[in-house]
């Protein structure tokens, strides 16, 4: 029996405020799975017309799937969030693109007709589980020169990208980072971010380890409003002497979680749920692991080709700012100015943080807000580089498009 491919839509997305990883971070005493639970519960609260029993799947990504990020977190978080036990779940790992992969994988199942609506998201508690904890890379990678040894260290891959594109200078990366901080501060001042944040109760401790009471996390901790070029110029380059990558022009080590509702458009409209974005195409591509930041360039080319679109058709870009150099390489390739107003209008990961597997849905929630505000824009993309040499891109259509100019 022939099947009809169904349109897939982004219904809603939320996230926790992102925190700084480590003993001084807001989530030092908070479990990773509890962050996901709060996000799922908030989705249900915001969409009371959705019968939780109709959720077909819970797909949650985590890069380091041990401890409180293990035990098939999609299943356990669903139960902890109060979903009926009939709702299944699973976990995903595609490093930084984990949540993005949760969305696209389940979207394929929706398009096929196996699911009607799912929860898809991600979590990373880098304070509890640093990237690479417990892994054992096969020595053949280096001994047989399958990859350069630097591929195992994300900061070194960013330095390699600077080597490959020497015209992307440290000053240019710093200038981009300052703009990211400024745009994030402006987005907060204009109330663009807070509406999709889930307040999180957090237990606070003193530097000596004693408990000092409870607080409420309501905004992103890593942001550094007021950042200037002068303040960035003197920062250390930890990955290479006299290098170009610093804590100021890269995303930090962070904790946080995201969750979204993805559905068939038919189901969403019948259930009275919002339709915030329509999925057009997506693509994942592998690149040389030692320059993993190059990944969004070929993945975007592939996703655009599948959609029958060109870069000129894209009116809004949400590019994950793992490193400024990675975004700048993308913009240069496509002939887009560093300060193009279509790019990361609310700022990016350099300001908000990048809790690895969760970040893909943050890009989507920000793009969805921009679509609502800008009905003259028809298409936008969410894209990111991925550890060990990959790129990921999703092309979205604005359901509010009014036929205006791109």
Secondary structure (DSSP) of 199-210: -EEEEEE-TTS-
Q: List all residues 6 or more positions away from 96 whose beta carbon is below 8 Å from its beta carbon.
A: 63, 320, 322, 354, 356, 357, 359, 360, 384, 385, 386, 387
* pLDDT (0 to 100) of residue 211: 65
How do the pLDDT tens digits run along the chain, 406 residues long? 667 899 999 999 999 999 999 999 999 999 999 999 999 999 999 999 999 999 999 999 999 999 999 999 999 999 999 999 999 999 999 999 999 999 999 999 999 999 999 999 999 999 999 988 888 999 999 899 999 999 989 999 999 999 999 999 999 999 999 999 999 999 999 999 999 999 999 987 766 666 678 999 999 999 999 999 999 999 999 999 999 999 999 999 999 999 999 999 999 999 999 999 999 999 999 999 999 999 999 999 999 999 999 999 999 999 999 999 999 999 999 999 999 999 999 999 999 999 999 999 999 999 999 999 999 999 999 999 999 999 999 999 999 999 865 4
Q: What are phi and psi of 212, to 5 degrees?
A: -115, 10
Domains of the chain, with CATH numbers? 8-130+174-393 (3.40.47.10)
* pLDDT (0 to 100) of residue 4: 85
DSSP 30: S
The verdict on whether 96 is a catalytic residue reads yes
The verdict on whether 385 is a catalytic residue reads yes
Q: Which secondary structure element, helix H or strand E, spans residue 263, and what is its range?
A: strand 254-264
Rounded Cα–Cα distance for residues 356 and 102 (Å): 13
Residues 28, 129, 162, 385: which is the catalytic one? Answer: 385
Residues 167, 242, 354, 400: which is the catalytic one? Answer: 354
The verdict on whether 167 is a catalytic residue reads no
Rounded Cα–Cα distance for residues 131 and 20 (Å): 14
Identify any residues that bridge with 259 across adjacent strands, giving them in sequence order: 14, 121
Q: From the CB of residue 8, how many other CB atoms can be counted at a distance below 10 Å?
A: 24
**SS3 for 212?**
strand
Residues 28, 96, 125, 162: which is the catalytic one? Answer: 96
Helix, strand, coil share of the chain (percent; to 5): 35, 20, 40
* pLDDT (0 to 100) of residue 406: 45
């Amino acid at each position: 029996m022939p099947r009809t491919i169904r349109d897939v839509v982004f219904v809603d997305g939320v996230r926790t405020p992102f925190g700084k990883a480590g003993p001084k971070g807001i989530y030092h005493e908070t479990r990773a799975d509890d962050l996901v639970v709060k996000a799922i519960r908030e989705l249900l609260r915001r969409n009371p017309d959705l019968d939780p029993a109709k959720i077909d799947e819970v797909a949650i990504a985590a890069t380091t799937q041990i401890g409180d990020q293990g035990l098939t977190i999609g299943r356990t978080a669903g139960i902890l969030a109060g979903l009926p036990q009939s709702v299944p779940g699973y976990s995903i790992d595609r490093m930084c693109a984990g949540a993005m992969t949760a969305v696209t994988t389940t979207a394929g199942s929706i398009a096929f007709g196996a699911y009607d609506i799912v929860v898809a998201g991600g979590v990373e508690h880098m304070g509890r589980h640093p990237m690479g904890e417990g892994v054992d890379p096969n020595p053949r990678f280096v001994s047989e020169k399958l990859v350069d040894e630097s591929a195992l260290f994300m900061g070194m891959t960013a330095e390699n990208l600077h080597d490959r594109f020497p015209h992307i200078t440290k000053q240019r990366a710093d200038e981009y980072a300052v703009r990211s901080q400024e745009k994030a501060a402006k987005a907060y001042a204009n109330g663009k971010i807070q509406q999709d944040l889930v307040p999180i109760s957090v237990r606070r401790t003193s530097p000596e380890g004693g408990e000092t009471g409870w607080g409420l996390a309501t905004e992103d901790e890593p942001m550094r409003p007021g950042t200037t070029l002068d303040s960035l110029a003197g920062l250390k380059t930890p990955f290479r002497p006299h290098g170009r990558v610093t804590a100021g022009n890269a995303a930090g080590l962070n904790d946080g979680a995201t969750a979204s509702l993805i559905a068939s458009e038919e189901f969403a409209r019948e259930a009275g749920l919002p339709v915030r974005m329509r999925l057009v195409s997506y693509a994942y591509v592998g690149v040389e692991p030692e320059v993993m930041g190059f990944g969004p360039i070929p993945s975007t080319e592939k996703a655009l080709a599948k959609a029958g679109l060109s870069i000129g058709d894209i009116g809004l870009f949400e590019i994950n700012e793992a490193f400024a150099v990675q975004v700048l390489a993308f913009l240069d390739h496509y002939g887009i100015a560093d300060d193009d107003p279509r790019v990361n209008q609310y700022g990016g990961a350099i300001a908000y943080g990048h809790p690895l597997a969760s970040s893909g849905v943050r890009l989507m929630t920000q793009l969805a807000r921009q679509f609502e505000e800008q009905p003259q824009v028809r298409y936008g993309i969410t894209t990111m580089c991925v550890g060990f040499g990959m790129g990921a891109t999703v092309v979205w259509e604005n359901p509010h498009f009014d036929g205006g100019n791109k």
